[in-house]
Amino acid sequence: MNVFILNTGRCGSTTFIKACEHITNFSSAHESLSTHVGINRFAYPTRHIEADNRLSWFLGRLDSIYGNDAFYVHLNRDKQKTIDSFSKREEYGIMKAYKEGILLGGKKEQSAIEIAEDYVDTIEFNIELFLKDKTSKMNFSLENAVHDFDMFYKKIAAKGNLQAALNEFTINYNAS
């Protein structure tokens, strides 16, 4: 069984994978195949946990390959904090790609906050629609990380050092 951490980005996916590094019966990585194309984009090893916000743009293909044979986590964080974090990154990464590629440059009067909110809403709806018929899934809130990770750990029958994993959520990785 593979595990996919679906998310907008800017919501703790790096921290989530740092915690997963303390699990011994799964491999784990953050954005490990993000530069690959075709079938190689989804060539994750078996019993692997992957967090990559770009997967939300490939949900149809993810479904065709893994479908209900994977466990899915919908990772999120307080919406306004996520938007604020993305708005600080409007000139690079996924925000630049969204504004320039999807919104065709947007409009002058659109603020970074408005564009970030539109991006977050789009991704959240994409993930919710994808997950609506999945049987092996859970919601995970960064604000409830200790409780939710403990539940996640049990749901996937993880082995390793749970306390060390939980301690990762006290460290702020990849801050804006």
Contacts of 124 (CB under 8 A, 6+ apart): 8, 76
The CATH number assigned to the domain holding 154 equals 3.40.50.300
Closest CA to 121 of 6, 8, 11, 5: 8
| 136 part of a folded domain | yes
Number of domains in the chain: 1
Q: Which two three-digit tokens encode residue 95? A: 């925000």
> Which domain, by its residues, includes 163?
2-170
The pLDDT value given to residue 120: 98
Q: What is the pLDDT of residues 109-152, one digit of tens each?
A: 999 999 999 999 999 999 999 999 999 999 999 999 999 999 99
The pLDDT value given to residue 176: 63
| 34 part of a folded domain | yes
Report, as ranges of residue numbers, the positions in the chain whose pLDDT lies below 70. 176
The pLDDT value given to residue 172: 85
Q: What 3-state DSSP class applies to 34?
A: coil
φ and ψ of 94, to 5 deg: -65, -30
| 176 part of a folded domain | no
| 107 part of a folded domain | yes
